[in-house]
Structure 1
Amino acid sequence: MGFQTPMYTLSQYLEETRSGRIQLPDFQRGYKWDDERIRQLLITVLRGHPMGVVMLLETNNALVRFKPRPIAGVELKPGTEPEKLLLDGQQRLTSLTQALTEDGVVQTKDVRGKLLERRYFVHMESALEDINRMDEAVRSVPADGVIRTNFDRDVVLDLSTPDKQREAGYFPLNLLFDPTGSMEWLFALEDKSLAFSFMENFVSPAGKYNIPAIELDADTDKAAVATVFEKVNIGGLPLNVFELLTAVFAGDGDYFAATGSDFRLNDDWQETRRQWADYPVLAGVENTDFLQAVTMLATRERHLASESSRPRAISAKREDVLKLELTDYLKWRDPLREAFIWASAFLADRHIFTSRDIPYPKQLVPLAAIKVVLGNSADMHSVSARLSTWYWSGVLGELYGSATETRFVRDIEAVPTWAVNPESPTPRTILDANFTESRLHSMRTRNSAAYKGVAALVMAGDTRDWMEDKLFGAVQHKDMAVDIHHIFPKRWCNENGIDDEHRESIVNKTMLGARTNRMIGGVAPSSYLRKIEREAGITEEELDRLLTAHLIDPKYLRTDNFASFFSARREELCLLIESVLDKKVQRDISQGIAAEDSSHFEEEAFIEATPEEA
């Protein structure tokens, strides 16, 4: 990548934006400057103050062909190709192009976001009298040139025609860079000295107004464009790879030659979302997640096919996502669409039914990619069991909170082979996963992935609601508004001196329907159990069996013995976690290695209190 730093006059920029020699790459967001910012920009030009640099990218680039689009408000003949793409300076050049050329009408908005059409004028005498009065000299007026008050009944200023503009002494700024138009307008003034003075002090200097540029050469690749764009666009929204690839794919010449149209990545993503509409657990999958999965599969295929001693690595990194070709995307799109749907069923089998309940949404990226690699064998009993071990290792080992790209790659490299052949090397995620007994104390809110994971594990253990005779399947989960609720109610805990750590721990919570939670209220367990038996028409023995399925020892609830309940259920949860990790949970509290507190874990905000227990 090389660059140069030329200086161009504003008139050159205006000529090139209007002719289409400068256009925008399609990944740029839309024009959005408000009326006052445009007015201040025009004041900057009239005062001859600098406005900063713009950044341009030479086209005819062998490494990347972005789909171009004209500056907002500019109409070009179909097929007009740019010589340069504007990477930074869109808002400024769009404002100047609209305000200083053609009819000068700018499509803008006020500070409240109301859409407006405005034109801009400068009061000549005020501007000439004192350059410091330029702020009051430059006026923004409606597109018809008339400022009205009193609900549009009274005209305050009428600049709708050249004669009325001259009579009021307001020069239309859309003529500032039109030598013929500005001269004709000015020398139709009765006061020729005013005309000469304004021409000399503002019109002529404007023709020499320079704006520096940074021009990136034609050897600049997509990753460099993205990096540079982010560095110069700190004040705006960050560019993501999906937006950049949207422009790249739309500019794919081979696709256009084959189909007669551009490929619209965003439209294609919306089709993906439509295909997933019946799978609410996929609602949180982002377009960039999908692209990462495509990238892993594309780079894996090239890695396996390479005969080099140092083949290109499998990757999910941003720079490699940006190297995707449209052919890569189209090859893996449909298999991945189906794989994510398969992943929703995989999660449902583990009693995770909504996107809110997914412990680590990003773990769906390698899960879907692994499914594509495994194909139909992913559903075989032994393979599915090992995939489950890998999944719960990531959740309960809390391994997807950071550095996910590296773990994605390790998973796609090792998990498919190991899932089919357990004699092959054990995946790093499984080796890295560990769980300690005391962690149960600090899992208190949905901020913790493991908290949501343990809740799902308990629900998957053939559990039923305590009031309604329903298993916690996907339909029942929705119909009963199932959520995580306290076993010893919050109010009872507060009244009986139970500290925050024990009260809010996942040990003191389970999955229940909304109706049951309302029945529990804030009273002692011994009281609400009798109420449930009476209202549900269930015997003590039957209710005890339901409690036991939730890993609760009924006798401790019936005697309101919180300490014994907590200790016994903590052990049951440790055994449950051991069963899915296929490794021991360290009993650091039971063995006296750790105190029965969680001060060594990061505090989590308490957000789970229910209205009934508040």
Structure 2
Amino acid sequence: MSTFDSTKLPLPQVLADITKGIIQLPDFQRGWVWDDEHVKSLLISIARSFPVGAVMMLDTGGEVRFQVRPIENVTFKDKVPEPERLILDGQQRLTSLTQVLALNKPVQTFDAKGKKIDRYYYIDIATALEDGGLEDAFISVPADKKLKTNFDRDVVLDLSSTELEVTNFHFPCSEILSSDAWEEALHEHAPEKFSDFMAFRKKVLTAFRSYQLPAITLGKATSKEAVCLVFEKVNTGGVPLSVFELVTATFAADGFNLRDDWYGSKLRGFEGRATRLSKEPMLKGFAAADFLQVISILKSSGMRKADIAAGKKGKAVSAVSAKRATVLSLTLEDYQKWAPEVEEGLMLVAKFMRKQCFFNARELPYRTQLIPLAAVLSQIKERWLEPRIYDRLSRWFWCGVLGELYGGAVETRIANDYEELMPWLTSDLDDENFELTYQFPRTISEAAFQESRLDTLRSRNSAAYKGLNVLVIRQGARDFFWKATIQELDKEELGLDIHHIFPRAWCEDQGIKESVYNSIVNKTPIAYKANRMIGRKAPSVYLADLQKHKQVNLSDEEMNEILTSHYIPEAELRANDFEQFYSGRKSKLIQIVESAMGKSAQLDQSGVAYKTEVEA
């Protein structure tokens, strides 16, 4: 059965419905942005009876309820009426036509530079009657209805009264749909022009009055998800409609301002959830849509438990879900019930991430992995600190990072991980039937790390790259110059970054490929002082320079301890043996990976990956 109707509507009827409030905008629609030239171009197209595209509307009165607002510049004497239809596509065109044709007040538009201006629109009748004259016939004038030149000192066209409009033979566009009063003034002040006016009325005004606007109307049964998808498909104006905006408009229909709840309100003097969360550096930038996804997981999980308790089976049992449709189905009651718990869970997420040695959002491998983590911690609360639960949660986290499983579309993984983590985290490891009763979450069972992946980890934006760097730091890596642990230096903001162990320039001089020396195997966290001293030198040279520097003053054994803290084979580094260094450090990094993931890496034949790169 079709969920929409397609027809043509008389333009005057559509504009009348807009001014009466029968047709309005859903609050998620962005503001009117068309400039003066766009408006004139639209008027010319209709005057020439050209198609200007279909509009799309949604019937109100169904289950989908949105906060609504009238089209810009439309006002009502009493309260805003309840609309019968909402504009999904065609806002810019209908707003332009309403302001120009149906309202007797200045059009609030923009100039070519985006500056706000007030304009009235007119048609130069004499020009419009010329062959091909319509392109130049439409003009706009300032709010005082006077066109001026010479830095606004000389008035070249004055249309500030009906008499002046008539004598200058310029027709106001606000009179296009009903010109009786203006025609009476024409009879009075310039009757000799009446025959020309009649030709103009037939050629131009009739085109507007008889214009049929193609319209598609979605029925009341249309779901929120469908509305969102349709809106994004038909709106080519730029930014896609976010789930948060759509849910905001839905909650607003119940008198709740989700935007204020999330972002806060300076006017009303309170901070929102986003502000409170961003006080934790790890949660800076945590998105409103992510927050809603956590709520959708908890809500759908509760529904699933209720269905199972009621004895339902198969398809009748609700699924745990973080999908868009589930988020869009959230009610205000759902939000108010779960939001405090989710916020509390996110604060625990920040603590968990600090224990993993992540201290700001920039270091985060996957923002999406925080969604199931927040859902879990909101439910187990302080139990996450229990050693057994913490170890399992850490293992799951690192399998997701190093297995690179949380990139792209991960709604299904997010939901599955929450559903599978909860029983696994709190189950009894002493149970002899543990492996049979409590299966590992699939992120753990599916995660794999190949030794050759180390050869291709070159981008600092890669999740596994970020993860390995943090694991090295977490193991207590100390800086070459400051001798303190990297964690301590990071807090002091001493220019810490990931730098080459064998310098780039030295590698190039030795003919080592960029794809090899740029691998994470040849990189480690180093503060700026040490990195500046390393320069282009061979490792044997820069190590000697560092050790004898008066502020460093380290013996070979002491420097070797620092190198070991970075999992760097010190003998090979001192011997400037890149190939043996690369092979040795690669093996050490694999050990870190295996320890974090709690499973063996998939090993290559020794040295094959490196030799292939070098000899290629």
TM-score exceeds 0.5? yes
Moved more, 287-296 or 180-189: 180-189
2:551 matched to which residue of 1? 536
Moved more, 239-248 or 113-122: 113-122
Gaps of 5+ in 2: 264-271
Contact 2:504 2:536 in 1 (8 A): yes
User: Does 2:418 correspond to 1:402?
Assistant: no
Contact 2:284 2:361 in 1 (8 A): yes
1:269 matched to which residue of 2? 262
Post-superposition CA distance 1:246-265 (Å, at most 9, x none): 1111112xxxxxxxxx2111
- After superposition, where does 1:61-210 map in structure 2 within 5 Å? 61=62, 63-76=63-76, 77-130=78-131, 132-190=132-190, 191-210=193-212
Q: How many residues align?
A: 587
Gap change, CA 1:439 and 1:278, over 3 Å in 2:
same
**Cα distance, 1:162 vs. partner?**
2.7
Contact 1:366 1:412 in 2 (8 A): yes
Q: In 1, distance between residues paired with 2:233 and 2:552? A: 67
**Cα distance, 1:205 vs. partner?**
3.9
**Cα distance, 1:397 vs. partner?**
0.6
Post-superposition CA distance 1:351-409 (Å, at most 9, x none): 22222211111111111112123222112111111111001101111111233011111
Contact 1:489 1:523 in 2 (8 A): yes
1:559 matched to which residue of 2? 575
**Cα distance, 1:476 vs. partner?**
2.8
Gap change, CA 1:322 and 1:157, over 3 Å in 2:
same
Gap change, CA 1:22 and 1:531, over 3 Å in 2:
same
Q: In 2, distance between residues paired with 1:87 and 1:321? A: 20
2:217 matched to which residue of 1? 215
Report the AA paired with residue 357 of structure 1: E
Report the AA paired with residue 218 of structure 2: L
Contact 1:176 1:182 in 2 (8 A): no
Gap change, CA 1:411 and 1:75, over 3 Å in 2:
same
**Cα distance, 1:495 vs. partner?**
1.6
Moved more, 148-157 or 440-449: 148-157
Q: In 2, distance between residues paired with 1:475 and 1:73? A: 58
1:370 matched to which residue of 2? 376
- After superposition, where does 1:492-531 map in structure 2 within 5 Å? 492-531=506-545
Contact 2:11 2:209 in 1 (8 A): yes
Q: In 1, distance between residues paired with 2:66 and 2:584? A: 62
Gaps of 5+ in 1: 253-261, 600-614
SS at match of 1:273: helix
Post-superposition CA distance 1:555-584 (Å, at most 9, x none): 222222222211111110000111011111
SS at match of 2:278: coil
**Cα distance, 1:474 vs. partner?**
7.4
User: Does 2:417 correspond to 1:411?
Assistant: yes
Gap change, CA 1:186 and 1:506, over 3 Å in 2:
farther
Post-superposition CA distance 1:81-105 (Å, at most 9, x none): 1111111111111011111133342
Contact 1:2 1:216 in 2 (8 A): yes
TM-score (norm 1): 0.91
Report the AA paired with residue 521 of structure 1: G
- After superposition, where does 1:308-327 map in structure 2 within 5 Å? 308-309=312-313, 310-327=316-333
Q: In 2, distance between residues paired with 1:114 and 1:588? A: 63
Q: In 1, distance between residues paired with 2:283 and 2:601? A: 31
Post-superposition CA distance 1:101-156 (Å, at most 9, x none): 333422222333222222211110111122x2211111122222233334333434
Contact 1:438 1:598 in 2 (8 A): no
TM-score (norm 2): 0.91
SS at match of 2:239: coil
1:27 matched to which residue of 2? 28
Gap change, CA 1:419 and 1:405, over 3 Å in 2:
same
Contact 2:293 2:327 in 1 (8 A): yes
Report the AA paired with residue 141 of structure 1: V
Contact 2:21 2:80 in 1 (8 A): no
- After superposition, where does 1:224-243 map in structure 2 within 5 Å? 224-243=226-245
Contact 2:583 2:607 in 1 (8 A): no
Moved more, 436-445 or 203-212: 203-212
Contact 1:470 1:476 in 2 (8 A): no
Post-superposition CA distance 1:187-231 (Å, at most 9, x none): 345122223222333234422222122122222221221122223
SS at match of 2:241: coil
SS at match of 2:157: strand
CA RMSD, Structure 1 to Structure 2 (Å): 2.0
Q: In 1, distance between residues paired with 2:612 and 2:111? A: 55
Post-superposition CA distance 1:518-543 (Å, at most 9, x none): 23222222222233221433312322
Gap change, CA 1:279 and 1:35, over 3 Å in 2:
same
Q: In 1, distance between residues paired with 2:61 and 2:576? A: 77
Contact 2:16 2:102 in 1 (8 A): no
Q: In 2, distance between residues paired with 1:273 and 1:475? A: 29
User: Does 2:602 correspond to 1:586?
Assistant: yes
2:267 matched to which residue of 1? none
Q: In 2, distance between residues paired with 1:118 and 1:420? A: 68
Q: In 1, distance between residues paired with 2:46 and 2:182? A: 16
